[in-house]
């Protein structure tokens, strides 16, 4: 490993303006958690919030909680709180339902904004759900779906929608949202951004970009918990014209009128579908409190610094067959570093056995997520020191770390 003393990481921790935020999370003692890009750590305030929702709100107030405890307004209220983190003015983000549902909503509505165009472009390396749903929307609306490389993006006159992830989930590469949005608009098309690996670690400015639509989850860097609901951004200028495919009763102009025909509500309320997952949304709302007093610019600066430290340490392990896949230049890097190794799965398992939790992506990537609010520089140094010891001693070649046909890889 590169000759970088642990004292360097300790000095960085001593100067860290975000060090206070670590106390807002319940991270198990002795665990180095580098998988926040799959599931964020538990914010300390979530437990009490969910317990109150169960015992007092549900247990005592029962149905009166829809009004008395604000259950009805959770989708808009949580949506606006998320919107503040992604550069969206109030009234443009709604929280509820899964990422898949929100992406289906966004893609279908976006394509219907350009009814005379018959092509949808998606990233050939996009997360599988994004590709599957692009194909499904293509079948539904009779669109040709083409897979492209964002680095060589060409938007022709027949393209209705371009849908890309801001950050490549495998490599951590960050695309130029501003340049791509400008290119798509210049061609007369609509862009739908997937911000699952961006929200909470990147200073995204959806309004400033002039973005059309975006979706994102809340269980990664927003720390909303397993299966937490996703969110949908729809620019105000598109809301009245948006023809959303899922028209549930809560999205109607007068939901309690219980009319047989659908008339959409004004604004983002039309994106409501059915009853929201209240307990999960209470957890998300409480989780978002960790952002109180946090400077997003400081989050990005620490994310980049953590990444630079990890990359420097990884470069010292090249003799062991380890290479850095993630772009080194900060403007092209999200908040994870992916390392390539022929035995990446076995390395991930050996690290977990040592209390260092990252994850694996087939066929040969070790992904290390960098969540700046609860990760320290010494965490990164210690994790890479553990990796060096594993590689040096060939610990990962032990039989118990081999991947079997029944292994579950998350």
Q: What domains can be seen in the chain, in order of their start residue?
A: 6-44+295-401 (3.90.1150.10), 73-291 (3.40.640.10)
Strand partners, 42: 26
Q: What is the pLDDT of residue 2?
A: 59
Mean pLDDT of 201-222: 97
Q: How confident is the model at residue 410 (pLDDT cuts 50, 70, 90)?
A: very low
Query: For 242-300, how does the pLDDT look when each residue is reduced to its tens digit (9 = 90+)?
Result: 999 999 999 999 999 999 999 999 999 999 999 999 999 999 999 999 999 999 999 99
Mean pLDDT of 389-401: 95
Distance CA 377, CA 372 (A): 9
Q: Position of tokens 């975000």? A: 18
Q: How confident is the model at residue 335 (pLDDT cuts 50, 70, 90)?
A: very high
Query: For 74-88, how does the pLDDT look when each residue is reduced to its tens digit (9 = 90+)?
Result: 999 999 999 999 999
Collapsing DSSP states into helix, strand and coil, what is residue 110?
A: helix
- Contact yes or no for 141/213 (Cβ under 8 A): no
Q: How confident is the model at residue 3 (pLDDT cuts 50, 70, 90)?
A: low
pLDDT of 408 > 50? The answer is no
Mean pLDDT of 48-68: 98
Helix/strand/coil percentages in the chain, nearest 5? 45, 15, 40
Q: What is the pLDDT of residue 1?
A: 55
Q: Hey, which residues are catalytic here?
A: 127, 194, 219-220, 367
Mean pLDDT of 209-224: 98
Question: The tokens of 331 are what?
Answer: 């403007």
Query: For 19-35, how does the pLDDT look when each residue is reduced to its tens digit (9 = 90+)?
Result: 999 999 999 999 999 99
Running DSSP on this structure, what letter comes out for residue 143? P
Mean pLDDT of the chain: 96
pLDDT of 314 > 50? The answer is yes
| DSSP per-residue string spanning 201-222 | TS---HHHHT--EEEE-SSSTT
Per cent of the chain over pLDDT 70 is 98
Mean pLDDT of 140-156: 98
Distance CA 125, CA 272 (A): 30
- Contact yes or no for 351/387 (Cβ under 8 A): yes
Q: Taking the chain, what is the end-to-end CA distance rounded to the nearest angstrom?
A: 28
| DSSP per-residue string spanning 123-184 | ETTS-HHHHHHHHHHHHHHTPEEEEE-GGG----TTEEEEEEESB-TTT-BBP-HHHHHHHH
Q: What is the pLDDT of residue 403?
A: 82
């Amino acid at each position: 490993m590169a000759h970088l003393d642990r004292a360097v990481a300790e000095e960085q921790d001593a100067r860290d303006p975000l060090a206070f935020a670590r106390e807002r999370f319940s991270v198990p003692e002795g665990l180095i958690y580098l998988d926040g890009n799959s599931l964020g750590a538990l914010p300390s305030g979530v437990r009490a919030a969910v317990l109150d929702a169960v015992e007092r709100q549900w247990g005592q107030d029962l149905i009166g909680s829809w009004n008395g405890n604000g259950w009805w307004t959770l989708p808009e209220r949580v949506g606006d709180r998320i919107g503040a983190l992604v550069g969206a003015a109030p009234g443009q983000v709604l929280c509820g339902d899964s990422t898949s549902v929100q992406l289906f909503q966004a893609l279908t509505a976006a394509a219907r904004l350009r009814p005379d165009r018959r092509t949808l472009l998606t990233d050939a390396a996009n997360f599988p759900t994004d590709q599957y749903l692009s194909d499904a929307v293509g079948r539904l609306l009779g669109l040709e779906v083409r897979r492209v490389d964002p680095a060589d993006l060409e938007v022709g006159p027949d393209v209705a929608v371009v849908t890309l992830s801001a950050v490549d989930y495998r490599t951590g590469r960050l695309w130029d949202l501003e340049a791509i949005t400008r290119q798509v608009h210049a061609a007369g098309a609509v862009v739908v951004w997937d911000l699952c690996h961006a929200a909470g670690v990147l200073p995204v400015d959806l309004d400033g970009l002039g973005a059309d639509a975006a979706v994102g989850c809340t269980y990664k860097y927003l720390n909303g918990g397993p299966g937490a609901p996703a969110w949908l951004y729809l620019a105000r200028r598109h809301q009245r014209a948006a023809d959303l495919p899922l028209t549930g009763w809560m999205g109607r102009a007068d939901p309690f009128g219980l009319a047989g025909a659908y008339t959409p509500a004004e604004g983002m309320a039309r994106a409501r579908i059915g009853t929201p997952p209240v307990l999960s949304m209470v957890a998300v709302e409480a989780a978002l409190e960790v952002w109180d007093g946090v400077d997003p610019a400081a989050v990005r600066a620490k994310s980049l610094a953590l990444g630079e430290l990890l990359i420097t340490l990884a470069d010292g392990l090249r003799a062991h067959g380890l290479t850095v896949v993630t772009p080194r230049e900060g403007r092209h890097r999200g908040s994870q570093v992916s390392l390539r190794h022929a035995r990446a799965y076995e390395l991930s398992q050996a690290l977990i056995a040592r209390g260092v939790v990252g994850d694996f992506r087939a066929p040969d990537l070790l992904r290390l997520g960098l969540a700046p609010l609860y990760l320290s520089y010494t965490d990164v140094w210690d994790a890479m020191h553990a990796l060096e010891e594993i590689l040096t001693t060939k610990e990962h070649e032990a039989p118990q770390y081999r991947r079997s046909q029944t292994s579950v890889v998350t």
